[in-house]
Amino acid sequence: MQNQIVYQFNSAQIANRFLNEVNSSRLQDIKAKLFRGSDKVQVVYKFADKGFDSTISELDDMAARYDGKEVF
């Protein structure tokens, strides 16, 4: 199953920093891109087939380091 989440940041520069960190992270099967402007980042990933999937938690923690907030 595929999950989608959008984070909003205070500026385009910060959104791009988050985008670059997500794309270079160790998290697997993740695609991130700018969303509806330059201050939002859309992240699409697949849930783990078995066990607990900590991907959303890790993404939330990463976004929080940049003062990002989940909007969708």
Range of the domain at 45: 2-70
pLDDT tens across 55-66, in order? 889 999 999 999
Report d(CA 17, CA 26) in Å as an integer: 16
Q: Average pLDDT in the 37-41 region?
A: 95
Residue 40, helix vs strand vs coil: strand
Question: What CATH number has the domain bearing residue 54?
Answer: 3.30.70
User: Residue 19 carries which DSSP code?
Assistant: H
Report d(CA 66, CA 10) in Å as an integer: 9
Q: How confident is the model at residue 26 (pLDDT cuts 50, 70, 90)?
A: confident
Nearest partner of 23 among 40, 5, 43, 7, judged by Cα: 43
Total domains present in the chain: 1
Do the beta carbons of residue 7 and residue 69 sit within 8 Å? yes
